[in-house]
Amino acid sequence: MRHVGPLVLAAAVAIASIGCATEPRELPQIRDAYDRLAANAQVRQQAGVELHDAELAVDRAFEVWQKDGNYDESVHLAYLATRRIEIAQLATERRELEDEIEQMPRQRVAQLAQRDHLAASMRGGTRLELSAGDAPDLDEFFAKLEEEPDERGVVTLGDVLFGFDSDALKGDAEKSLGRLSTFLAANQGRSVLVEGHTDDTGILEYNFDLSRRRADHVRDELVKDGVDPERVLTVGYGPVYPVAPNTTATGRAQNRRVEIVVLGRGEALDPAAP
């Protein structure tokens, strides 16, 4: 018995140190929050990995309390678990938004027919890239469009044709737009969709605004040349539809552009469409 005494005492102390202290109040809170999160089918479907991370974090916080009786560490781990739960919620919302955005052009194809992001979705057709320095064959481009009245054509105005952070067009581009206006005057059945694009650097809202202003500026030029404004639709896509990776300076320059989609005959824009 003399030898058992200290052991019993030690055991009692060990039990007291774990059993008597109250559980951190954060623990039931994180369990509740996690259970609510895990009950959400959207979360399970969209953010399975993040949900699992949150579960592990919750379990850790409990384990450290229940096995080691480490109160402070358990409270700390409960904080991490709370944040992991937030991350899983945000990740769910992010993936839903990503899906929604990806569906948008397709929905719009269905709803608005030619109001899609046409330049990107276009297969085939005639393309013309305009950037500073080169003398592209405008004659050949418009001749081909004349030959194929039902085909679409895309004229890409490169970034260098606009001033830095500006919607103003440089001289060469205005000349090319003059040619387009002449073509549109001679081909009354065709309308154009002007899409502005930017790279993904800088402020998102600003990029949307800049892409819209550039597209609007192109429309204004065409209208100045006598094109009926009803035949020109503009849209600013900001950085959403890149044509090159935004990881290199060259790629970013390619992404900063305006694409003018010359619609096929009979694809006239219908401003009354929903």
Partner 1 sequence: MEGGAQVSRFGPILGLAIACALASACAGTSPQPSLEAAEGAVQAAENAQARRYASSDLSRALDNLSAARTEAADKANWIEARRHAEKAEVDAEVAIEKSRVQQLRITATELQRGASEGAR
Are the C-beta atoms of residues 236 and 206 closer than 8 Å to each other?
Answer: no
* Nearer to partner 1 (CB atom), residue 148 or residue 200: 200
* Nearer to partner 1 (CB atom), residue 95 or residue 144: 95
The region of 28-36, 137-145, 156-164, 201-209 touching partner 1 under the rule CB under 8 A is: 201-209
**Token digits of residue 257:** 């552009």
Question: Of 9, 143, 204, 243, which one interacts with partner 1 (CB under 8 A)?
Answer: 204
CA-closest candidate to residue 122, choices 154, 149, 146:
154
* 65: contact with partner 1 by CB under 8 A: no
The region of 5-13, 22-30, 78-86, 221-229 touching partner 1 under the rule CB under 8 A is: 78-86
* Nearer to partner 1 (CB atom), residue 177 or residue 269: 269
**DSSP bridge pairs for 126:** 153
**Token digits of residue 154:** 């895309």
* 237: contact with partner 1 by CB under 8 A: yes
* Nearer to partner 1 (CB atom), residue 70 or residue 187: 70
* 139: contact with partner 1 by CB under 8 A: no
Q: Which of residues 33-62 bind partner 1 (CB under 8 A)?
A: none
Strands 192-197, 232-236: parallel, antiparallel or unpaired by DSSP?
parallel
* 242: contact with partner 1 by CB under 8 A: no
| Cα–Cα distances in angstroms (integers) from residue 77 to residues 38, 52, 64, 83, in the given order | 19, 15, 8, 10
Here's the x/- map for partner 1, 95-124, by CB under 8 A: it reads as --xx-xx--x---x---x--x---------
Which residues have C-beta within 8 Å of that of residue 231, sequence separation ≥ 6?
184, 190, 191, 192, 268, 269
Residue 37, classified by CB atoms within 10 Å of its CB into exposed (0-12), middle (13-18) or buried (19+), is buried
| Cα–Cα distances in angstroms (integers) from residue 124 to residues 81, 145, 151, 191, in the given order | 52, 12, 9, 18
The region of 90-98, 134-142, 149-157, 242-250 touching partner 1 under the rule CB under 8 A is: 90-98
* Nearer to partner 1 (CB atom), residue 72 or residue 147: 72
Distance CA 195, CA 255 (A): 12
Segments in 1-137 forming alpha helices (H): 4-15, 26-39, 41-46, 48-68, 71-112, 118-121
Question: Of 5, 147, 205, 249, which one interacts with partner 1 (CB under 8 A)?
Answer: 205
* 273: contact with partner 1 by CB under 8 A: yes
Footprint on this chain of partner 1 (rule: CB under 8 A): 73, 76, 79-80, 83-84, 86-87, 90-91, 93-94, 97-98, 100-101, 104, 108, 112, 115, 203-205, 208, 233-238, 240, 271, 273-274
